[in-house]
Structure 1
Amino acid sequence: MVVRKNIVITGASSGLGEGMARKFAALGRNLALCARRRDRLDALAAELTDRYPGIRVVVRGLDVTDHDRVFTVFDEFRSELGTLDRVIVNAGLGKGQPVGTGYFTANRQTVETNLVAGLAQCEAAVSIFREQNAGHLVVVSSFSAVRGMPRNMTAYAASKAGIATLADGIRADLLTTPIAVTTVLPGYIESEMTRRSSGRTPLLASAEAGARALVKAIEREPARAYVPSWPWTPLSVLVKVLPTSWLRRIA
């Protein structure tokens, strides 16, 4: 197994990004962390370097919808660490309302953040990997990408399906190179986003268990992984064939 020493994580100030940062730090990896909330990144970096003095943690404030700055920040991370061995495209947004109900702005922001800004991150990462002739691109999609979802999930699911398809295309393009591409599709994992659902989220994994499962899957570097594997891998097969009327009841 290839050890990816220098790891970029976007959206690292909370949720899955913060959880993955903690797990990778425990494995002795150097981290390049970015998110909009710089104060939280600084506190996390101080905590991790105190706990694991053998690692380096560098941080940048970054709104991934500022596309030019995405490229600048990734280049700065590479300059500071020497190489970028893995980039985890994790930053995302979960806002949304049923289409046609007057919330275009929220749905647009979700698609722009999860898909268009995701593309910017992939472009910046893969450009560096091509120069290095090495690297591992990880795209954090969602179980909701398996199929179009109703109500508040419609735009979110579409954006996550889009970024998953983008990763598939990048993987095909880089198939004969030393650059690996992994798509992870998390099920319901405790985070700020799920906490806003007021406890109505089914099959919810704890933040600790979710981060552990994510890092374990990423380290294997598969083409695609549902996380946690149980129950989301078998559920992915079921959801694809459910009648739309049933999907509407359970989603």
Structure 2
Amino acid sequence: MGIGEATARALAKAGANLILLSRSEDKLTKLTDDLSKRYPQIKVIYRTADVGNYDEVDTAVDSSAKELGGIDILINNAGLALGAPNAFHNLKISDIQTMISTNVNGPMYVAHSVLNRSMLSRKAGTIINVTSVTGLEVPPFTGEAVYHSNKAAQEAFTNSLRNELSGTNIRVLALRPGVVAGHFHAQRIGHDQSQYDEFLEGYTPLIANDVAEAAVYMLSQPLNVSIKALDVVPSAQRSLTVFDRQWNERNGQWVKALHEGHF
């Protein structure tokens, strides 16, 4: 399960009406049907769009806002890393363009449409941009130049947009995940299972639900409180490049001692 689906499920459980936006209609249909059955008290709709295409995004946002009567929350979660572990000069230009379209243009396009189609008229809402800890520190892998710069751009966009929305009650927040288990990080290191296993050796990464719960926590604060930026990382990820690979062993010892009543 990816972060987007996990966040949708967490918000549905909390009672929020949902607009799901993605390019994959099959996945959207399946998730919409499941959430509607599990939580009949909420309304779940979906729209298909490529976030890198403003016309598609704006059409989807406009019709969704009209159907639900407005949009109170936007979670910009689209993210894409291609071509790793190739260094920048070996990347395909098409991959570079696709990453920029998804990671930089996408959040801007969706935010622009949501602001103009709903939030600005009411001067209220919350925008969470899911960035990454890689937006602040240079990643330790080759092939990260484009993704790293994209995430840094998301951070800059988040901070600037927050300032530009002074005079409204619109919060603009950044949620920065660290290592999350799943397809995304496998992709970033080239789908090499041995490399992926080595990368995760000695510690437990986050799962998508951890990030989703962090988003819910940020949204649950009273409107006069902004968690402007929240890093959610595995405890063993001391920084972007320093992993405490004895964490699992020590944590297991601590849990055992706790169960045996040594604390």
Q: 1:46-125 residue pairs with structure 2 within 5 A?
A: 46-96=33-83, 97-125=86-114
1:155 aligns with one of 137, 141, 146: 146
**RMSD after superposition:** 2.1
Rg (Cα) greater in structure = 2
Q: What CA distance in whole angstroms lies between the structure 1 residues aligned with 2:145 and 2:27?
A: 30
- Runs (4+) of structure 1 exceeding 6 A deviation are none
Q: What CA distance in whole angstroms lies between the structure 1 residues aligned with 2:181 and 2:73?
A: 24
Residue pair 1:20, 1:212 contacting (<8 A) in 2 also: yes
Residue pair 1:25, 1:55 contacting (<8 A) in 2 also: yes
Shift of 1:230: 4.3
Q: 1:129-168 residue pairs with structure 2 within 5 A?
A: 129-149=119-139, 150-168=141-159
Q: What CA distance in whole angstroms lies between the structure 2 residues aligned with 1:214 and 1:152?
A: 28
Q: What CA distance in whole angstroms lies between the structure 2 residues aligned with 1:176 and 1:216?
A: 25
Deviations 1:174-211 (A, max 9, x none): 13321111111111112321243433444521233332
When the two structures are superposed, what TM-score results if normalisation uses the length of structure 1? 0.82
Do structure 1's residue 30 and structure 2's residue 17 form an aligned pair?
yes
User: Which residue pairs with 1:243 in the alignment?
Assistant: none
Identity of aligned residues (%): 26
C-alpha change, 1:176 and 1:235, in structure 2 (3 Å) is farther
Alignment coverage as a number of residue pairs:
224
C-alpha change, 1:147 and 1:44, in structure 2 (3 Å) is same
Deviations 1:195-245 (A, max 9, x none): 43433444521233332233223433411111248466x636x88xxxxxx
Deviations 1:3-35 (A, max 9, x none): xxxxxxxxxxx5100000000010111000010
When the two structures are superposed, what TM-score results if normalisation uses the length of structure 2? 0.78
AA paired with 2:168? T
AA paired with 1:75? D
AA paired with 1:120? Y
Q: What CA distance in whole angstroms lies between the structure 1 residues aligned with 2:63 and 2:182?
A: 29
Deviations 1:48-107 (A, max 9, x none): 111111000000111111111111111111101101000111112111331111423212
C-alpha change, 1:79 and 1:100, in structure 2 (3 Å) is same
